[in-house]
Protein backbone atom coordinates (compact mmCIF):
# COMPACT_ATOMS: atom_id res chain seq x y z
CA UNK A 1 0.00 0.00 0.00
CA UNK A 2 2.84 2.39 0.85
CA UNK A 3 4.40 1.69 -2.54
CA UNK A 4 1.16 2.57 -4.31
CA UNK A 5 0.82 5.84 -2.40
CA UNK A 6 4.45 6.70 -3.12
CA UNK A 7 3.97 5.94 -6.83
CA UNK A 8 0.88 8.17 -6.98
CA UNK A 9 2.67 11.01 -5.19
CA UNK A 10 5.63 10.73 -7.58
CA UNK A 11 3.31 10.77 -10.61
CA UNK A 12 1.49 13.86 -9.34
CA UNK A 13 4.81 15.57 -8.60
CA UNK A 14 6.04 14.85 -12.11
CA UNK A 15 2.85 16.25 -13.61
CA UNK A 16 3.14 19.45 -11.56
CA UNK A 17 6.86 19.98 -12.28
CA UNK A 18 7.87 23.42 -13.53
CA UNK A 19 8.89 23.12 -17.17
CA UNK A 20 8.91 26.85 -17.91
CA UNK A 21 12.71 26.76 -18.30
CA UNK A 22 12.32 24.64 -21.44
CA UNK A 23 12.48 27.16 -24.26
CA UNK A 24 12.11 26.72 -27.99
CA UNK A 25 9.97 24.92 -30.46
CA UNK A 26 10.19 21.19 -31.11
CA UNK A 27 12.88 20.22 -33.62
CA UNK A 28 11.69 18.36 -36.69
CA UNK A 29 13.13 15.03 -37.81
CA UNK A 30 14.28 15.18 -41.44
CA UNK A 31 15.45 11.58 -41.72
CA UNK A 32 15.10 8.52 -39.50
CA UNK A 33 16.04 5.11 -40.89
CA UNK A 34 16.73 1.87 -39.04
CA UNK A 35 17.50 -1.62 -40.28
CA UNK A 36 17.93 -4.57 -37.92
CA UNK A 37 18.87 -7.83 -39.59
CA UNK A 38 18.35 -11.35 -38.20
CA UNK A 39 22.11 -11.95 -37.83
CA UNK A 40 22.35 -9.04 -35.35
CA UNK A 41 23.83 -6.53 -37.77
CA UNK A 42 22.18 -3.13 -38.07
CA UNK A 43 22.25 0.27 -39.75
CA UNK A 44 20.71 3.51 -38.59
CA UNK A 45 20.84 7.16 -39.49
CA UNK A 46 18.93 10.24 -38.51
CA UNK A 47 19.03 13.97 -39.12
CA UNK A 48 17.20 16.83 -37.43
CA UNK A 49 16.32 20.36 -38.53
CA UNK A 50 18.88 21.89 -36.18
CA UNK A 51 21.90 20.16 -37.75
CA UNK A 52 22.20 17.05 -35.60
CA UNK A 53 23.12 13.95 -37.60
CA UNK A 54 24.13 10.45 -36.58
CA UNK A 55 24.67 7.14 -38.31
CA UNK A 56 26.10 3.74 -37.44
CA UNK A 57 26.66 0.31 -38.89
CA UNK A 58 26.92 -2.71 -36.67
CA UNK A 59 28.21 -6.10 -37.79
CA UNK A 60 27.14 -9.48 -36.47
CA UNK A 61 30.56 -9.82 -34.79
CA UNK A 62 29.76 -6.85 -32.53
CA UNK A 63 31.88 -4.27 -34.38
CA UNK A 64 30.22 -0.86 -34.74
CA UNK A 65 31.39 2.08 -36.86
CA UNK A 66 29.54 5.36 -36.79
CA UNK A 67 29.56 9.13 -36.78
CA UNK A 68 27.70 12.03 -35.25
CA UNK A 69 27.68 15.76 -35.74
CA UNK A 70 26.04 18.89 -34.40
CA UNK A 71 26.42 22.65 -34.41
CA UNK A 72 28.07 24.02 -31.25
CA UNK A 73 26.46 27.04 -29.53
CA UNK A 74 29.12 29.30 -31.09
CA UNK A 75 28.15 28.07 -34.58
CA UNK A 76 31.11 25.73 -35.03
CA UNK A 77 30.23 22.44 -36.71
CA UNK A 78 31.42 19.44 -34.70
CA UNK A 79 31.89 16.06 -36.40
CA UNK A 80 33.14 12.86 -34.79
CA UNK A 81 33.53 9.30 -35.99
CA UNK A 82 33.91 6.28 -33.75
CA UNK A 83 34.61 2.59 -33.75
CA UNK A 84 33.66 0.03 -31.15
CA UNK A 85 35.12 -3.45 -31.37
CA UNK A 86 37.02 -6.05 -29.36
CA UNK A 87 39.62 -3.35 -28.61
CA UNK A 88 37.12 -0.95 -27.02
CA UNK A 89 35.40 2.31 -27.99
CA UNK A 90 37.46 4.91 -29.83
CA UNK A 91 36.31 8.39 -30.86
CA UNK A 92 38.06 10.13 -33.73
CA UNK A 93 37.35 13.89 -33.83
CA UNK A 94 37.51 15.58 -37.20
CA UNK A 95 40.34 18.12 -36.77
CA UNK A 96 38.82 20.61 -39.21
CA UNK A 97 35.57 20.75 -37.25
CA UNK A 98 37.02 20.91 -33.76
CA UNK A 99 38.68 24.26 -33.15
CA UNK A 100 38.33 24.05 -29.38
CA UNK A 101 40.66 21.97 -27.22
CA UNK A 102 39.07 18.97 -25.57
CA UNK A 103 39.06 19.39 -21.76
CA UNK A 104 41.59 17.19 -19.97
CA UNK A 105 38.99 15.22 -17.95
CA UNK A 106 37.33 14.21 -21.22
CA UNK A 107 40.65 13.29 -22.81
CA UNK A 108 41.41 11.11 -19.78
CA UNK A 109 38.01 9.42 -20.06
CA UNK A 110 38.46 8.75 -23.77
CA UNK A 111 41.79 7.10 -23.07
CA UNK A 112 40.11 4.55 -20.81
CA UNK A 113 38.16 2.60 -23.42
CA UNK A 114 35.85 -0.12 -22.24
CA UNK A 115 37.04 -3.66 -22.82
CA UNK A 116 34.59 -6.45 -21.97
Average pLDDT over residues 67-71: 92
- Residue 3: the pLDDT is 72
Average pLDDT over residues 20-36: 85
In a domain, 21, yes or no: no
- Sheet of 64-71, strands arranged across: 29-36, 42-48, 53-58, 64-71, 77-85, 88-93
Strand partners, 7: none
If you count DSSP H runs as helices and E runs as strands, how many of each does the chain have, helices first? 2, 6
- Residue 114: the pLDDT is 53
Q: Find, among 72, 105, 112, the residue nearest to 90 by Cα.
A: 112
In a domain, 11, yes or no: no
Structural domain including 85 reads 27-111
Half-sphere exposure of 41 (CA within 13 A, CB side): 6
Instruction: Select the highest-mean-pLDDT range: 15-24, 33-42, 67-76.
Output: 33-42
Is the confidence at residue 24, as pLDDT, over 80?
A: no
Number of domains the chain contains: 1
Amino acid sequence: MKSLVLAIVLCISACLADVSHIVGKPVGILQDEKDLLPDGSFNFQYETENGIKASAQGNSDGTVVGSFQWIAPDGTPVHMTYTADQNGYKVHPNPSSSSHPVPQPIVSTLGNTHRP
